Amino acid sequence: MRVLVTGGAGFIGGGIVERLAARGDRVVVLDSLTAHEKAPDLPDPVELIVGDLNDEDAVRNATEGVDAVCHQAARVGLGVDFDDVTGYVADNDLGTATLLRALWRRSFAGRLVVASSMVVYGEGRYRCPEHGDVRAEPRRRADLDAGRFDPRCPHCGTALAWATVTEEAPLDPRNVYAATKVHTEHLAFLYGRESGARVCALRYHNVYGPRMPRDTPYAGVASIFRSALESGGVPRVFEDGAQTRDFVHVHDVARANVLALDSDWTGACNVASGEPHTVGDMARALAAAFPGAPEPVVTGEYRLGDVRHVVASPDLAAAAIGFRAETAFADGMRAFASDPLR
């Protein structure tokens, strides 16, 4: 099978490429390499085409003769502020559109797997003791300034308890990156309906592991904490540290992509560990892997675009593509303390 992996030199894409090449697939990587100081090591005989998704010549060459596409290239993270909006839309929305147009012009009707994110849900699923499942409103700056971080019931004002999010949850993007991921899904599924291609969107939860970017405004929180510890500093945990996430190892995410490529299932599914932990848990687990490191500091700071709790149900991915995460949180964090980053 000839497979195009966009962003195949990156954090998640690199792991996908290794798995595909190891089993004998012919892999083409399209990557701008802007996040790399030097050319990455790609397995032989992977073909590398250097260019971004808005380089129409590069995209046209990369899509030639492919049987399947694994679309990982994107600008990720919350960014700095709304001034990033044009960069995110150019890279994620227009870039995806350019890729899909090139596939359309080649009459591509094969397998298309796209990287999405848990951020499409906005706040996760919440329950009120009196009113049952309720939709959490965006958190107000006044509440956050006062240290009231948990969403409250819009009917009675009671603090809400989180519950696991299933794929049927309404999409509610609450930052620019999230909005572009919703649009990526919508464009991909529209392409599937028009072309007959079988499309699967994988909604990644908080991915960590080797090759993770470090020391940029777009890096994940695990990488930011790791960098602080390596420099002798202290991880600074925002809010009260009790915000809950699902941390899933990059090796599991790469395996989920290969399973999705091999499956005919169409739709969107969560890619998560099924093992929720707080951000404070993660900071403490990393600090424990650095002998003599100080305890993380809970600062009470916040970012307005952040959400409080997002915990996924992994059940659909298990049923649809046969994916269950294998890396336990404690083992993954222990290894991440010394994993190579970029």
Q: Among 311, 320, 218, which Cα is nearest to 272's? A: 311
SS3 for the chain, per residue? Answer: CEEEEECCCCHHHHHHHHHHHHCCCEEEEEECCCCCCCCCCCCCCCEEEECCCCCHHHHHHHCCCCCEEEECCCCCCCCCCHHHHHHHHHHHHHHHHHHHHHHHHCCCCCEEEEEEEHHHHCCCEEEECCCEEECCCCCCHHHHHCCCCCCECCCCCCECEEECECCCCCCCCCCHHHHHHHHHHHHHHHHHHHHCCEEEEEEECEEECCCCCCCCCCCCHHHHHHHHHHCCCCCEECCCCCCEEEEEEHHHHHHHHHHHHHCCCCEEEEECCCCEEEHHHHHHHHHHCCCCCCCCEECCCCCCCCCCECCECCHHHHHHHCCCCCCCHHHHHHHHCCCCCC
Given 88, 121, 126, 177, the catalytic residue: 177
Would you call 208 a catalytic residue per the annotation?
A: no
Enumerate the active-site residues: 177
